[in-house]
Structure 1
Amino acid sequence: MSTILLEIVTPDRLVYSEQVNSVTVRGVEGELGILPGHISFVTPLQIAPVYVKIGNERTPFAVQGGFVEVRKDKIVILAESAERAGEIDLERAEAAKERAETRLNAKGRQDEVDHRRAELALQRAMNRIKISN
């Protein structure tokens, strides 16, 4: 089975760098499966899990937005943040989810920016919870 180099990079660190058989990401237009030999492209990513497959093993990452760039010889995911399941603090993610839900459900005047921030915080928390479970 052929492989391609995958790098997951954040502003802080190189999260992952391995030869993989396939990668599944969720771009702005939907879910994308990427195999070795895929046509080159760049697309923004949604806040969603990224699944990496090596042989029969499928490893999830909680990726919080960014871009995926597919080249002939490698795939690069440039993410705001990315975590493996074992790196996620589930209690912290659940607390963040509750805070975001409280902000979204708050009565009274809430400006559009605060509402959008709360929505994004909720998406990030839900992504982390999904990966850690």
Structure 2
Amino acid sequence: MLAKIVMEVVSPERLVLREEVDSLVAPGSNGYLGILPGHAPLVTGLAPGVLEYKIEGKENKLAISGGFMEVYENKATILADTAERKEEIDLQRAKRAKERAEKRLRERPEGLDVQRAELALRKALARIKAAE
């Protein structure tokens, strides 16, 4: 039997997912991180992006908007600011949010909080990628 990793994804509202997975790839604050069974202990910040994981070779995705991840003894715990499964994402709404963020960044109205607009764009892009 191949080794697995227990992956838990928790948001402030709920336990989003608890599965035994073959591997996962998480959007770390300094780039994507691949986690396999037997990974060394790790605590890292997460950026908005797509959390990808495999179960029996089948690829699955979740959109997350940041948070933290701890890996310890073949368990990965993701404490996400928000996390959404593919079937929970309203793709049209995410596309509209992307367009609004791009427009704000392109037009740069006075008083624009650029970091907030860029974060909104990253979140929308993650939701779109996870849903498609």
Q: Which moved more, 1:101-110 or 1:41-50?
A: 101-110
In structure 1, the residue matched to 2:119 is 120
Matched, 1:82 2:80: no
Tell me, in whole angstroms, the C-alpha distance in 2 between the residues paired with 1:107 and 1:48: 24
1:107 and 1:121 map into 2 onto residues whose CA distance is: 14
Q: In the alignment, which residue of structure 1 is the partner of 2:8?
A: 7
Deviations 1:55-85 (A, max 9, x none): 1111011111111100114110011111111
Q: Secondary structure at the match of 1:118?
A: helix
How many pairs does the alignment contain?
131
TM-score normalised by L of structure 2: 0.92
Q: Distance in 2 between matches of 1:67 and 1:131?
A: 19
User: What residue number does 1:129 align with?
Assistant: 128
Deviations 1:15-34 (A, max 9, x none): 00011111111212222111
Secondary structure at the counterpart of residue 39 of structure 2: coil
* Matches of 1:51 and 1:91, distance apart in 2: 22
Give the root-mean-square deviation of aligned CA atoms.
1.3
SS class of match (1:119): helix
DSSP 3-state at the match of 2:115 = helix
Q: What are the ranges of 5 or more consecutive residues in structure 1 without an aligned counterpart?
A: none
Any unmatched runs of 5+ in structure 2? none
Shift of 1:48: 1.1
